[in-house]
Structure 1
Amino acid sequence: MKETFKDVPAEPRPAPAPPAPAALAAKVRTLAPTMTRSMQRVAETVASDPAGCAALTVTGLAERTGTSEATVVRTSRLLGYPGYRDLRLALAALAAQQAAGGAPAVTADIAVDDSLVDVVAKLAQEEQQCLADTAAALDVTQLEAAVAALCGARRIDVYGIGASNLVGQDLVQKLLRIGLIAHAHADPHLAVTNAVQMRTGDVAIAITHSGRTTDVIEPLRVAFDHGATTIAITGRPDGEIASYADHILTTSTARESELRPAAMSSRTSQLLVVDCLFIGVAQRTYETAAPALSASYEALAHRHSPRNNQR
Structure 2
Amino acid sequence: MTPSLLQRIADIRSDAPATRRAILDLILEDPDRVLEESFEQLAERSRSSVPTIMRTCRDLGFAGLREFKLALAQELALGGSPLHRRVNIEDAADEVVGKIARSAAASVSGVRGQLDMQVLDGAVAAIAAAPHVDLYGAGATSWFMANDLQARLFRLGLSANAWADYHLQQVAGAAQRPGGVVIAISHVGGMPSLLDAVDIARGQGAKVVALTRPGTALAAKADFLLGLSVPDDAVMHVGIDAYLTHLTVIEILTVLVAQRRGEPAVQRLQRAREAFQRHGIDATTHPLQSWDGGGVNDGGSAS
Match of 1:176 in 2: 154
SS at match of 1:199: coil
1:268 to 217, 234, 244: 244
Percent sequence identity is 26
> Which residues of 2 match residues 128-277 of structure 1 at below 5 A?
128-161=105-138, 162-235=140-213, 237-258=214-235, 261-277=237-253
Shift of 1:265: 2.0
Decide which of 10, 21, 33 is 1:26's aligned counterpart.
Answer: 33
Whether the 8 Å CA contact 1:172–1:183 is kept in 2: the answer is yes
**2:260 maps to 1:284:** yes
Output the CA distance in 2 between the equivalents of 1:239 and 1:200.
25
Paired position in structure 1 for 2:287 = 307
Using the alignment, how far apart are the partners of 1:63 and 1:176 within structure 2?
47
Query: CA 1:24–1:119 in 2, change beyond 3 Å: closer, same or farther?
Result: closer
CA contact (8 A) 2:54 2:65 kept: no
Deviations 1:250-280 (A, max 9, x none): 123244224x553332011111111111110
Aligned AA (1:134): V
Which consecutive residues of structure 1, in runs of 5 or more, have no partner in the other structure?
Answer: 1-20, 31-48, 68-106
Question: C-alpha separation between the residues in 1 aligned to 2:33 and 2:67?
Answer: 22
Matches within 5 A, 1:53-92: none
**Unaligned segments of structure 2, at least 5 residues:** 1-22, 38-51, 71-83, 290-295, 298-303
The answer on whether the counterparts of 1:232 and 1:247 sit within 8 Å (CA) in structure 2 is: yes
Q: Spell out, residue by residue over 1:268-299, the C-alpha distance to the aligned partner (whole angstroms, 9 max, x if none).
A: 11111111111101011122101111121122
Distance 1:192 1:246 in 2: 18
Aligned residues between the structures = 230
Is contact 2:85-2:234 (8 Å) kept?
no
Alpha-carbon distance change, 178 to 214 in structure 1, aligned in 2, over 3 angstroms: same
SS at match of 2:211: strand
Q: Give the secondary-structure state (helix, strand or coil) at the position aligned to 1:206.
A: strand
Are the aligned partners of 1:208 and 1:233 in contact in 2 as well (CA < 8 Å)? Answer: yes
Q: Which amino acid aligns with 1:181?
A: S
Return the alpha-carbon distance in structure 1 between the equivalents of residues 190 and 237 of structure 2. Answer: 17
User: CA, structure 1 residues 263+223, in 2 after alignment: closer, same or farther (shift >3 Å)?
Assistant: farther
User: Normalised by the size of structure 1, how large is the TM-score?
Assistant: 0.65
**Residues 267 and 173 of structure 1, relative CA distance in 2, 3 Å threshold:** same
SS in 2 for 1:110: coil
Q: Is the 8 A contact 2:131 2:159 kept in 1?
A: yes
Query: Matched residues in 2 for 1:159 and 1:27: separation?
Result: 31
Larger radius of gyration: 2
- Relative to structure 1, the CA distance from residue 28 to residue 186 in structure 2 (aligned partners, 3 Å threshold; closer, same or farther) is farther
| Distance in 2 between residues matched to 1:154 and 1:249, nearest whole Å | 21
> 1 CA distance for matches of 2:242 and 2:253?
17
Residues 134, 250 of structure 1: 8 Å contact kept: no
TM-score for both structures, normalised by structure 2: 0.66
Contact 1:177 1:293 in 2 (8 A): yes
Residue 154 to residue 62, structure 1, CA distance change in 2 (3 Å): closer
What displacement does 1:63 show? 10
1:93-150 alpha-carbon deviations (Å, 9 max, x no partner): xxxxxxxxxxxxxx96223443332222122111111112221111010000000001
Q: Give the AA of the match of 2:162.
A: A
Question: How many Å apart are 1:156 and its aligned residue?
Answer: 0.5
Q: Which residue type is aligned with residue 132 of structure 1?
A: S
Name the CA distance, whole Å, in 1 between partners of 2:35 and 2:143: 25
